[in-house]
Structure formats: structure tokens, C-alpha cells
Amino acid sequence: MPFVKEKYHVSTPTPAFLFVMQHFHYTQGQAQRLLGKGRLLVNGKSLENSGALIQGDIEIVYFQPRSRGRAVLFQTPDFMIFEKPSGILVHPNTMATEYSMLDEIRALSGEHANAVHRIDMETSGLLLASKHKDAERFLKNAFEIKTIRKSYLAWVEGALTECFTVEAPLLKSNDYSQCKHKVTVDDRGKSAHTDFVPLEYHAGRDTTLVACYPTTGRTHQIRVHLFHMKHPILGDPIYGSTFETSDAYLEGRLSAKNRLTETGASRLMLHAHTLAFRYGADYFIESQIDFKQEMENICPKVKRSFNTASTQ
């Protein structure tokens, strides 16, 4: 497990944030963030005041990366790009998370390295990470001002033959009691634009491979836009699935067999395929994963137990 707990003895009264700064060689901001997460324990309880004086025996919980040997696809002295598998988190979401891509990022380039954008756990493909704080600031800003261009591949339900564009505002949901959708199309939401290009159709699995080009970066944008067009991504347990299936998935009760038949695939069939950006030079990075082969994870049409019209 990447989070470890170690005991320390503080011989003289010292402000908590100063002890963390000195011991871990952190900046004050980094030390206060660690303390803000409740990672310094006194008598087994998290210290809430980062300026409080500490003395005697304490415990600190911190992230210690554990690499699984995942290779870097491409790197420079400033950044690196990984092929993230489906099912792996980018960052640990709790201290109980056994492994995430942050393990590989920090194991390779140290504690100041970090992922600079989001990819859903079930989405596979290209993940861009910085090797130091200057690169992190530059690349995160590049995503914010939309100078980094991304494309995705998706296997969707049904036949698509023409290129199309979806401009539909997206709003994050606060009520999951009747619907498990985390994001909905809503005029009160933020603007969102995605272009779609159908690439090939397979009748036996009733699925089309689609190239997706988002020009905005909203949460679940591609998933929601395709669901909105009645062609949900196969394997999506939230958009395009029934309330019962979504609820079972979120609670960890959905079996692999039911996942396959009730969502149409054994995983979310979405892949981050290309990244294009400028960092001193112009870079265009393409995934080396043959996503077409992932069609093997799609349930044949005759065995699927859902259809778009019957889902929420």
C-alpha cells in the first residue's frame, strides 16, 4: 500500500508545519496541505491546527510510491506520458487505495511529479504527467486555456454513419436518489462541445468505433454527449444503464457477468488516443494500444440484456 505510517519523536516544541517542512524538505504550502489532510497524528488523532506546537511521539502518514514497472511511453526532462489501463485510478482516492498511476509517476520522477489532467478510472489511454512544479503549472494552464488538444476513441451502441457535433451544456448533479447520472444535459450547465467521426461499424456486436474530439473539458463530457445522442458508450455503468445496474456498480455489487450483459461490455469502451501540445517544441503523441482489438470485450448484440430505449 503506497500510504505508510511512521513514528517520529520531536524533542523540543516545534510548530507542526515547520517539523514537516524540515523533515520532508517540503515548502510551507506542501506541509500545510499534508496537515490539512489529517496526516499528522498525535495520540492517534489527526492534528487540525498546522501551527500547533508538537512535542514527543507523533505519527505521520505519507505517500510512498510502489511501482509495478509500468513503462513510460514518451518522456522529456520536463514531462512524461503513460498508457493508463482501464480500471486504474490516476490519483489514490483514499489512503486504502493500493495502486494508482501516481505510484508510477512519483516512483520515476520524485515527489514533485504529478498528473496534470483527469482521466476517469475506467477510461484507458494517454496520461500526461509533469516531472517538476514548473512543468506542472505550465501544462495545467495549457489545459485550462485549451492549447492542449485531445482525441478519444469509443465503441458505442448502434450504427453511426455520419459525422456529427454535439453542443449541449452539462450540469453536475447533486441528487442521485432517482438517477445515478453524475452529469446531465441541462441549459443551466456549462457549455460543452464535442465533434464525432464514425470510423467503422460491426453488425454482430451492433457497435460503431467513433473518434471523439472534445473542444471543452467538462466532467464525463464524451460519455454524456454520446448518451444524449442515444448512442451510449458500451460498458458504461452510469450513462446508458438502468438505475439498478448503476446502483449495483457504484456499491460494488455488479458481477462481471452482469456487467457484460447489462452494460454491453466488460469495461468502459473509451480510450484517450492522442495528445497534441507545445512545450518548447510541438508534440503529437499517439497511443500505441490497438483499441480496435478491445471490441473483444463487447458482448454480442443477441446476448445483451439492455437497449437504449429502456435505460434511464
Portions of the chain given CATH number 3.10.290.10:
3-63
d(CA 258, CA 260): 5
What are the pLDDT digits (tens) for 39-65? 999 988 999 888 999 999 999 988 889
Active-site residue identified among 103, 120, 206, 236:
120
Portions of the chain given CATH number 3.30.2350.10:
149-310
Res. 309 pLDDT band, cuts 50 70 90:
very low
Fold of the 72-144 domain:
Alpha-Beta Plaits (3.30.70)
Does residue 132 surpass a pLDDT of 60?
A: yes
Residues paired with residue 284 on neighbouring β-strands, in sequence order: 276
Answer yes or no: are the C-beta atoms of 115 and 127 closer than 8 Å. Answer: yes
**Which CATH number is 149-310 given?**
3.30.2350.10
What are the pLDDT digits (tens) for 247-280? 999 999 999 999 999 999 999 999 999 999 999 9
The reported pLDDT for the residue numbered 310 is: 45
Residues in the chain: 312
Give 224's contacts (C-beta < 8 A, 6+ positions apart).
168, 170, 181, 183, 184, 185, 192, 218, 239
Please provide the average confidence, as pLDDT, over all residues in the chain.
Answer: 93
DSSP state, residue 298: B
CA neighbours within 13 Å on the CB side: how many for 271? Answer: 24
Does residue 311 surpass a pLDDT of 70?
A: no
d(CA 57, CA 161): 67
Does residue 146 surpass a pLDDT of 90?
A: yes
Res. 1 pLDDT band, cuts 50 70 90:
low
The reported pLDDT for the residue numbered 15 is: 94
- Out of 1.10.760.10, 3.10.290.10, 3.40.50.2000, 3.40.50.1110, select the CATH number for domain 3-63: 3.10.290.10
Portions of the chain given CATH number 3.30.70.580:
72-144
Active site residue 236: no
Cell numbers placing 211: 473518434
More confident residue, 115 or 30: 115
Answer yes or no: are the C-beta atoms of 124 and 101 closer than 8 Å. Answer: no
Comparing C-alpha atoms, which of 30, 312, 79, 22 is closest to residue 177?
Answer: 312
